[in-house]
Structure 1
Amino acid sequence: MDLDVFVAAHQAQWARLEQLLGRGRHLTGAEADELVALYQRTSTHLSLIQSSAPDPMLTGRLTQLVARARATVTGTRRASWRDAARFFTAGFPAAVYRSRRWWIPTALLSTALGILIGWWIATHPEVQGAIAAPDHLKELTRPGGQYETYYSSHPAASFAAQVWTNNAQAAAVCLVLGAFLGLPVLWILFLNMANLGVGIGLMTSAGRLDVFLGLILPHGLLELTAVFVAAGTGLRLGWTVIDPGPRTRRAALAERGRAALGMAIGLAVVLFLSGLIEGFVTPSGLPTWARIGIGVAAEAAFLVYVFVLGGRASREGDVGDVEEADRTATLPTAA
């Protein structure tokens, strides 16, 4: 494409679009129609220049012109409480629901790995000896030892805030680093399951597995589910790099990346709730059955939220992405 000829042929249209944009809201009906038509043509011109004869200065000028025209045509929209309500009642649960084929297997396999590590440690004294000295292991697992006092060693509010911050960071890392083919996600999952397996193994060897489960289950059910959702979504994002499907890799990553970032916000709220349980319920004086019952109820509520609200929103076409008007425009591609 001869860029000089192209510019000469369409310069008048770009100048006319700039003229119409300069009038602000004082446009007649005919001028508004003209503005829309020129916006569409200029968008096409920009795409052609970017693909055939990229020129930094011209591309920058037309990009700014198209952005101004788009803002005028579509109007500006501010986030509102309605957007937040839609996110938590449709967008977030739909995104979690649609990624269920990734996070459910992730949860099952990870849990099996944690149990296997726990069994291996519990049945092999030499492995326990490699973890820590016998006196230290006894201090960890004895009644009133470090495993039990861990949840009550700090004020509940500050402990809950610390737990929430750490878990939210881990979930966000899983979501963001999933684009690196999912490899960092697998490592984070392994570390989490290894820590869980060590606790299971050591407390089982001390004959106190019931105490350990009574401490871990109240908050652990919801907390681990959130981590599994983040990890599964991160792995899905990593697989999109390999196999984007019928869309371009850029378009597929953009959609699932936006959904993943939205899920980071939703999972932060879920982990905040699990942090409250860990800070105020786990170390409380409630009977073990009551503490576990609260954890089971929180987990059940989350699953109902995902599979009922999220399933319904997904069937209505919600993919957990931002509103269509807020997405970057894309050119049509051949199937």
Structure 2
Amino acid sequence: MKKHKFIHQRRPQWKKFEQFLRQVSSRSLSKLPADKISTFSQLLREISHDLATIRSRGWGHELTSYLNDLVARGHNLFYSAPPTNFARFYRYLAADFPRLFRANIGYFLIASLLFFLPMGVSWCVVQNKPELASRVIPEEYLSQFDNMYGEEGGLNSDTENTTEGNTDSEESEDSETDSFGDQRATMAGFYINHNVGIALKCFALGVLLGLGTVYTLLFNGIFLGAVSGYIISQGNGDRFLSFVISHGSFELTAIAVAGGAGLMLGNAIIHPGQRTRFQSLQVRGLEAVQIAGGAAAMLVVAAMIEAFWSPADIPNIVKYSVGSGLWLIVFLYLTFAGLQSDRRLPSQHSLSNSPQQGDQHR
């Protein structure tokens, strides 16, 4: 079948589905009659098939982008309709989030470049010339890092303090054990608040045409790289790296993921296509929010590891082994989790071809 004939035959269904999307909100889809939901599901499958056909025959980027956008919106509407519950939350973390991450991986790659490249550069520069650290890091912070990671410093000082006086009495031991647990819980709460705050800042500032996200990624990358380079230049690399390797897998990756979500918001405003910028934010913003939520969940995991595992008095070789395994787990999770959902709606993969793809609705 030729292109023009195919478009002429299928366009009414596309317009019908587009009108359906305009009329139905994610909260009301589940309240529709069963026949309406069935019609919606059928149209979604048909348009997914149309998109696969058009892409395989190379019938134009604009048409592909238009249908890809319809499928993405339909998929978001369909899967966001059920009420929130534990099963839905589990599905989101196990399948939906990593699938959406891969579908929009172009944004993540750009965010990673903006975050990890400055980090690596500042790390190398400060490690070779530690006197430059004071240009990025306040002097009081440098003193704190020396105390924390120096030979007489105390990453594990709270652990050591809880062991003093164990021979005095069982009551003292119980009290110190409770204190240790309270300290760890307090640390976990602090790390969650701090780390999630960074991720949400990377995401939310995307509404400033993406410039806020770019600045936040660059600033944190340079700062963290300078901190790492300075600590290692002072001969405390082993203590520092063994401390950060485990939670860093979730933490650093999540910051880049949140940054990618922020860039999605910025791109939706800059390239709204034929929509208004507010409409573009509504369409692309849903996916961005879901991706940012996944990044926040990763940061909660990172905070727990940082509070309860990273400062524990455990041989460094064990921490390096576990930390390497956690980096591998993060990679496998983002790469392979939810692949079954990807196969069910393969059209979503085209979103990963370009950060702008799916935003140009023609």
User: CA 1:151 to 1:228, structure 2 compared with 1: closer, same or farther past 3 Å?
Assistant: farther
Equivalent in the alignment of 1:21: none
2:151 aligns with one of 139, 143, 148: 143
Equivalent in the alignment of 1:127: 132
Letter aligned with residue 152 of structure 2: G
C-alpha distance in 1 between matches for 2:88 and 2:312: 37
C-alpha distance in 1 between matches for 2:87 and 2:134: 57
Moved over 3 A (4+): 67-82, 128-131, 133-141, 148-154, 244-252
Q: 2:98 matched to 1:90?
A: no
How far the C-alpha of 1:126 sits from its partner, in A, is 3.9
Secondary structure of 2:152's counterpart equals coil
Deviations 1:157-206 (A, max 9, x none): 21112101221122122222212211111222123223312222212321
C-alpha distance in 2 between matches for 1:226 and 1:185: 14
- More deviation, 165-174/214-223: 165-174
Q: 2:264 matched to 1:201?
A: no
Cα RMSD (Å) of the superposition? 3.8
Letter aligned with residue 96 of structure 2: G
User: CA 1:241 to 1:303, structure 2 compared with 1: closer, same or farther past 3 Å?
Assistant: same
C-alpha distance in 2 between matches for 1:150 and 1:119: 30
Contact kept, 8 Å, 1:97 with 1:314, in 2: the verdict is no
Contact kept, 8 Å, 2:130 with 2:230, in 1: the verdict is no
Larger radius of gyration: 1
2:219 aligns with one of 191, 200, 210: 191
Contact kept, 8 Å, 1:119 with 1:201, in 2: the verdict is yes
Deviations 1:112-136 (A, max 9, x none): 2112112222333542455538993
Superposed counterparts of 1:1-335, under 5 Å:
73=33, 78-128=83-133, 130=135, 131=137, 132=139, 136=143, 138-139=146-147, 142-145=150-153, 148=155, 155-245=183-273, 249-317=277-345, 335=362
Letter aligned with residue 263 of structure 2: L
Secondary structure of 1:178's counterpart equals helix
Normalization by structure 1: what TM-score? Answer: 0.65
Contact kept, 8 Å, 1:181 with 1:239, in 2: the verdict is yes
Identity score, percent: 25
Deviations 1:302-332 (A, max 9, x none): 3222221244423432859xxxxxxxxxxxx
Normalization by structure 2: what TM-score? Answer: 0.61
Contact kept, 8 Å, 1:218 with 1:296, in 2: the verdict is yes
C-alpha distance in 2 between matches for 1:249 and 1:279: 42
Deviations 1:19-73 (A, max 9, x none): xxxxxxxxxxxxxxxxxxxxx9xx99x99xxxxxxxxxxxxxxx9xxx9999565
Equivalent in the alignment of 1:329: none
C-alpha distance in 1 between matches for 2:126 and 2:311: 26
C-alpha distance in 2 between matches for 1:82 and 1:238: 32
Deviations 1:251-305 (A, max 9, x none): 4422321122223332222212111111111111222122132223223223222
C-alpha distance in 1 between matches for 2:344 and 2:157: 45
Letter aligned with residue 319 of structure 2: R
Give the paired residue count. Answer: 262
* Structure 1: unaligned runs, 5 residues or longer: 1-39, 48-62, 321-332
User: CA 1:135 to 1:234, structure 2 compared with 1: closer, same or farther past 3 Å?
Assistant: closer
Letter aligned with residue 281 of structure 1: W
Secondary structure of 2:84's counterpart equals coil
- More deviation, 270-279/121-130: 121-130
Deviations 1:122-157 (A, max 9, x none): 3335424555389937546521336x4699798112
User: CA 1:245 to 1:90, structure 2 compared with 1: closer, same or farther past 3 Å?
Assistant: farther
